[in-house]
Amino acid sequence: MSAVRSKICGITRIEDALAAVEAGADAIGLVFYAKSPRAVNVQQARAIIKALPPFVTTVGLFVNASRCELGEILDAVPLDLLQFHGDESAQECEGWHRPYIKALRVKAGDDIAAACDAFPGASGVLLDTYVEGVPGGTGEAFDWSLIPQRLSKPLILAGGLTPENVADAVARVKPYAVDVSGGVEASKGIKDHHKIRAFINAVRGNTSSM
């Protein structure tokens, strides 16, 4: 099995972005959702991205953003990948001249394969925990046994991942990538650099023996 990728989401500070890269993160996530405690503005996002070395994917997270808001941000911020975390349709996710992933919030009884198939243009799907009224970042894991064996898109696993449980998650789910935010924080929006290193080491330690 090829190495599982890691994304550190909810980055709000340059030093946290650089710590994630130094630890081996493949991608960093920037949240453009004003209600999130991890939200960044255009100026913060530009400064963080400017500080990054090459070959690190920058991901912008959006929740039901208007076309006007999204267009303005994309004109100002050089994002590599878009992550739609709300109730967006496939049509609303496309047409931005950037690849995108769609987040799906998982609960018992969902047809995850069908939900995945509803976004044929997506580069991948991110599976997160369903919590009523909360679009993501809950810090809660869902029942990984609900995930189908085969999906039509690369799977990014999120929801309640920590340095302590991510190796088990990788072994059981075998995702393309894992995505963490709260699990590597000192406080909301402020990353714990030791936890970032421990998380990525756990992912890599697990994949190296597969």
Beta strands 81-84 and 100-106: pairing type?
parallel
Q: Which two tokens stand for residue 141?
A: 């894991």
Q: Which of 9, 16, 93, 116 is catalytic?
A: 9
Burial class (CB in 10 A: 0-12, 13-18, 19+), 142: buried
Three-state secondary structure call for residue 194: helix
Cα angle 173, 92, 86; round to 5:
50
Residue type for position 145: S
Catalytic residue among 116, 128, 168, 179: 128
Q: β-strands 185-187, 190-191: how paired? A: antiparallel
Q: Is 128 a catalytic residue?
A: yes
φ, ψ at 110 (rounded to 5°): -70, 145
Question: ∠ CA 206-209-210 to the nearest 5 degrees?
Answer: 90
* Known catalytic residue at 68: no
d(CA 110, CA 119): 16
Q: Which residues are catalytic?
A: 9, 128
